[in-house]
Structure 1
Amino acid sequence: MTQVRRVVVDTDTGIDDAHTLLYLAGRPDAEIVAITSVFGNCVEEDSTRNIGYVRDLLGLDAPISRGAAAPLAGAPRIAGHVHGKDGLGDLGHDRPMPEVAAENAAETLVRLAAENPGELDLLALGPLTNLAAALRIDPELFTRYRSVVLMGGSGPYAPPGTLLMVDANIDNDPLAAAAVFAAPRNELVMVGVNVTGTTILDERAIGALRASGTPVARFATEILDAYLDFYQNEWGRRIIPLHDPLAAGVLLDPSFATAWQDGPVNVRGDGFLSRARLMRTHDGLPPAFPYEPAPDTRVITAVDAPRFVADFVEVLTR
């Protein structure tokens, strides 16, 4: 019998976040327990509206809590050029503000963990501001979740000459990310751009979604255009990486990950942007500079991208 993972989702609800909620809701081994909003792909208010819209489309009753509208320090940077100003491609969806909990996102994350110790998984899909705020309330918070899986980070240091996609979720609040990677935990899994950038929803897969008559697949493809407009400048093709959905896939089925390393992760800036890195070079050596000790994080370094993409399409067109 398949064990059902009870998942709390923290999300800056843009296009791939919406796809992730669709994917989780379609998997028989997942139950969405609660959803918390954060800024990032869109402003926090739109993130909350988008959560409500997708939740109602799916017929879910998961409660919603509003979270951080800005990072711990500085002003928010919003990715409207990627996801559309409203986060869902600016298609004019009617997105009324849903009923939300009286407590904020950080309080919700702490309460749920205290009420269900060792039973819930926390899936973080945006900047880690809510998680850092929750750690200020309960520094042992991550020891009360069965696992914490986050979409963010850049893996170990890449081979010389290799370029990576921007590590946006970390760069949007590096102080929060540093607090997360330093916190004690049961299991913290980093699904970074080093692997999500290889998990491509290509023309054939997008065509399969478009050809499906299900409301879920129809919505999934409706909101794709803004995302495709952005990523066509990366590869010259109208294809997209499945950033956030891959993190959900690894949470539910760890066998999607085919290689990983366990070790300390630090958040480091280069004067342009910040990344979360496993403190190892591509060949497993420590970096050539001092770094902060931290508890081990499981850093995914390779995935079975074709199998995950096939599963994603099958779930959304079921």
Structure 2
Amino acid sequence: MASKCTMVLDTDVGTDDAVALLMALSQPSVDLIGVTCVHGNTSLDNVLVNTLRVLKLCNRLDVPVYKGTACPLISSNKRTDASFTHGSDGMGGIPDPHPPSRDLIQSEHAVNALIRMANEHPGEISLVAIGPLTNLALATKMDPEFSKKLKELVIMGGNIEGRGNRPGAEFNFFVDPEAAYITLQEYTCPITVVPWDTCVRNGLTWEWYDQWTSTDTVKGHFVRDILKRGMTNARTFYKRHLAPIFDPLTMAVVINRSIVSETKRSPVLVEVKGDVTRGQMVQVDASFVDHPKNGREVDIVLKCDADGIKEMLMKAVE
């Protein structure tokens, strides 16, 4: 049984982020107290609209949405366009005929909101980061005590096998390598990383995916429509043998940690200087962990129980 979870979601809502948000909203064990938005899969303005769209679908516009950072800490990377998967609007190019009002977006900046919520709920918040880590890096720079007040940080990002969905890195870390470096170096709360490689290996069969996206509900139709573009590309161009799930897998890990069947604990760093390797997460030999340049230890998820994931995905489209 999933334990109670006070959650803040930091996200760049594209298609799979939307599914992860649906999962959180469908679980009685999750108290989602805020969504902080960041650039990434699409523009920050699109992310804000997409977030409100999902909340409206679930009749949960009471959840506060905060506008965060619109670009990386240092400079934009021209190779970060994700429209191939998420469409130009981040939602697979599926228009919303009745979009929620942007007046629902909170006036407080997302970074300030993160710090405030941690102060209001010390030791209680599971911070779930499924986009670039720009907001998180700024939060710890503004308040070095910020991460000490979190229960945990769970990240969808990084890679452990030297390959990813960008040249040598995973997308979220590739978009803002400096933010990923700062977060993994300076956060002192327990950190769990669900890397790109794990998400690919723990994908679901296409047969089950097709059944899931055929669910005859309003949410089922929504998921089918927004995922169609990216998943068609995954089948055709990437020739994936399994339907990859990235942000939803990470959300499943947070909701019910018992689905995790294999992990490893390792010090990690993020490469910020390379060309092909910029944004790559590098594991360090634990025997040298005391060396100041060898990073801090994190728990890396390697394998999860598919049945547990499926159960949560089905709940999300009821």
How far apart, CA to CA, are the structure 2 residues paired with 1:230 and 1:311? 25
**Aligned-residue CA RMSD in angstroms?**
2.3
- Matching residue's letter, 2:299: R
Who is 2:64 aligned against?
63
Q: Does residue 195 of structure 1 match 2:198?
A: yes
- Matching residue's letter, 1:197: V
Who is 1:173 aligned against?
176
| Structure 1 stretch displaced more, 119-128 or 269-278 | 269-278
Q: Does structure 2 conserve the Cα–Cα contact (< 8 Å) formed by 1:141 and 1:185?
A: no
1:119-268 matched pairs, under 5 angstroms:
119-155=124-160, 158=161, 163-166=163-166, 167-236=170-239, 240-268=243-271
SS of residue matched to 1:216: helix
Who is 1:27 aligned against?
27
The alpha-carbon deviation at position 291 of structure 1 amounts to 7.5
SS of residue matched to 2:262: strand
Query: Normalized against structure 2, the TM-score is what?
Result: 0.89
How far apart, CA to CA, are the structure 1 residues paired with 2:218 and 2:154? 28
In structure 2, relative to structure 1, the CA distance for the partners of 1:17 and 1:307 (3 Å cut) is same
How far apart, CA to CA, are the structure 2 residues paired with 1:25 and 1:154? 28
How far apart, CA to CA, are the structure 2 residues paired with 1:264 and 1:2? 28
Q: Deviations over 1:245-291 (max 9, x none)?
A: 111111122222222222321001542242123224xxx8879xx88
1:278-289 matched pairs, under 5 angstroms:
278-280=283-285
5+ residue gaps, structure 1: none
Query: Normalized against structure 1, the TM-score is what?
Result: 0.89
Deviation above 4 Å: which 4+ runs of structure 1? 284-287
Identity of matched residues, %: 26
Who is 1:295 aligned against?
296
Q: How many equivalent residue pairs?
A: 307
In structure 2, relative to structure 1, the CA distance for the partners of 1:312 and 1:298 (3 Å cut) is same
Q: Does structure 1 conserve the Cα–Cα contact (< 8 Å) formed by 2:214 and 2:224?
A: no
How far apart, CA to CA, are the structure 1 residues paired with 2:213 and 2:122? 41
Q: Does structure 1 conserve the Cα–Cα contact (< 8 Å) formed by 2:262 and 2:304?
A: yes
In structure 2, relative to structure 1, the CA distance for the partners of 1:67 and 1:78 (3 Å cut) is farther
The alpha-carbon deviation at position 28 of structure 1 amounts to 2.0
How far apart, CA to CA, are the structure 2 residues paired with 1:296 and 1:141? 19
5+ residue gaps, structure 2: none
Q: Does structure 2 conserve the Cα–Cα contact (< 8 Å) formed by 1:150 and 1:189?
A: yes
